[in-house]
Chains A and B, each alone.
Chain A
């Protein structure tokens, strides 16, 4: 396997595996937030703000994988 092929394989693996965890996390956060809103609809504003914050934290992990992949691809 050439170095270039390894590079492309690494980019694919980084994006595939690195976004797996954040995707699961964001899904869990969203489902739990919807459950909470369904149980207590008056608190939906508060829940929504906290949900977006928690999603931003989970999303940051995926973004790190993206940045690493972009550095491998373009630099």
Chain B
């Protein structure tokens, strides 16, 4: 997937420029601008891990694999694959063929939605946390140093809500996937 290789490098530079004189940045820095030595790496110890898309992608993949595992272990492999590939004709005549066509298309959409779950899980968490960081960045550029404090509290609350949402969505998807849809 191309989105995995996305690295928010320019953002880190912008943040560095803004908080260059701040004390809470943990930097192992070389005075020269050479990138050859390993001393020129910067480490942000106080950045949220989920503000990197790779972390949220990993979490989302674990979640979706768990959903598929729950579905297979409770439905069985046959019913599980029938949910996605259902080409059987139940009625005779033109309407039966028509309904089978609709059913197979719905199955393909269902298969696609399993992959969209990964994307939506990953982007939801990443977007919320990263947007919070950008918000704190903008506020810290607008106000004095203590002015960001209420927004830090807001971001803690947003993180709490997003953790709850991630858990609840995984639970809801599991409970949807283990119910038998076939008649």
Contacts and interface: CB of A to CB of B under 8 A. Distances in A.
A70 interface: yes
B51 to A, nearest CB: 11
Chain B interface helix/strand/loop/mixed = helix
Contacts of A70: 130, 134
Contact of B6 (A56, A64, A66, A71): A71
A35 to B, nearest CB: 22
B10 interface: yes
Contacts of A66: 127, 131
B127 A67 contact: yes
Given A70-B130, A74-B10, A74-B11, A52 B164 contact: yes
A49 B161 CA distance: 11
Interface in A8-44: none
B10 A52 contact: no
Interface residues of A, number: 14
14 contacts: A49-B168, A52-B161, A52-B164, A52-B165, A52-B168, A56-B124, A63-B127, A64-B123, A64-B127, A66-B127, A66-B131, A67-B126, A74-B10, A74-B11
Interface string B118-162: 001001101110110010000000000000000000000000010
Contacts of A53: 165, 168-169, 172
Contacts of A56: 124, 165, 168-169
Interface of A: 49, 52-53, 56, 59-60, 63-64, 66-67, 70-71, 74-75
A75 B11 CA distance: 9
B8 interface: yes
A59 B120 CA distance: 11
Nearest to B10: A74
A67 B123 contact: yes
Contacts of B126: 67
Given A74-B10, A75-B10, A60 B161 contact: no
A4 to B, nearest CB: 15
